[in-house]
Structure 1
Amino acid sequence: TNNQAARPFSGGEGRLSLSGGLVQWQGTQSLQGVGQLGVNSATELRLRGVVLAGVDQGALRTGADVTITADQVAPASGTQYLLAAPGHTVTISGGDAAAAAPLSAAGAITIQAQVIEQGGVLRAPFGQISLQATDRLNLLPGSLTSVSGLGSTVPFGQTIGGIDWTVGAGTQLRNL
C-alpha cells in the first residue's frame, strides 16, 4: 500500500507477477523497471482508494503491459481508481458474468492504455467505467462491462438527522 502522491513510472525488462485469493490494490502505486505485469486473483481484483483532499482515490501507473485474470474487477464503494499504462496493452480476462455483483456502490474505474482488451468481468455498480484506448479498444465475446446495480441492495452512507444523506469523505446528498 502506498498512500503517497504519484511517483514517476517507467517500463523495463522486468516481470512482476501477483497472485492471491483476493488481490487488492490500495492507494497510488507507480511501477519502475517493469515491462510485464501479471495479476491473477482467484476471486476479485478490488481497487481501493484512500481519501486525499476529500476524494477517495487510487491509481496504478505503469510503463508495462498489464494482464489481469480475475473473476471480476471492481472498485470499492466511492473509490475513483485509475489504471494508466500509456503506450501499452491492458488485457482483462477470466470471470463469470453470472456471478453476483460486488458489494460496492458509486465507484469509478478509468483504464488508459494504447490497447485495451476487455475479455473479463469489469463492474462498478451504480458507478462509472471509462475505457480510454489511444489505438484500439476490444470488448471481447463473453465479457461483461457493467455499472448496473439492478437487484442489489448496498448499504452505503448514513443519514444526518433523518434529513441529509452522507456517503463519507464530506459528500452530502440533500432532501431525502
Structure 2
Amino acid sequence: MDMSVFNGRKRAEDGIFLQLRHPFTDEPIEEKGEPVGFVVRGSAAPSVQARLKEMQKKVESADDDEDRDALMEAMHSAQIEGAMPFIISARNMELGDKPVETEEQIREILNMTFPQMDFAKDADGNVRQVVVKDDEGNETRAPQFDITNKTFAQQVIDAAQDGARFLGETSGG
C-alpha cells in the first residue's frame, strides 16, 4: 500500500476546499451554480502550527481586562482570529464588485456572521440551569445558553480541525 495517502500533514498544508453553508439553515452557499467558500489548511499543517504559536504568545502577553458585557463580541473576535491562520484563499466571493483576495476582505466576510445565543433547554423544554459562584464564592443558579448558528469562522475552524478531511483515499494497495 502506498502509505503517502496518510500524509495528512502535507495535505493539511496544501489545503482543501470548504464550501460555506448558511449559518442558520445549513444549506450550501453557491453563486451561479459554483460553490462559495475558502481553501483552508488543516490544524496539523506546519505553517498553521507556527501561526498558532505566535497567536498564543500574543494571548499570554495581553492584559486580561475583558468587560463581561462584551463577552459575545469577544467570542466573535476570537472565532475570527482563530479561523484566520487556516484560510489560504477565498473562492467565488466578491464584496460588491471586487473579488475577495486580501486578508482584510476575508476578515470582513468572517465578520458578517455573528454567533447567536438562546436559552439551552432540556428534553421537556425547560431552561437548563448551571451552578456558578459569585465573587464571594457563593453558589447560585444561572440559565445555560447554547449557540444556535454556525458562523463562517466556526465553519472554517471545524473543517481545519477535522483531520479525516485531510487524508486521501486509504482503500486498496
- TM category, shorter: under 0.3
Considering fraction of residues, name the structure with more strand: 1
TM-score (norm 2): 0.25
**Larger relative contact order (CA 8 Å, sep ≥ 6):** 2
Higher helix share: 2
Could you tell me the TM-score, scaled by structure 1's length?
0.25
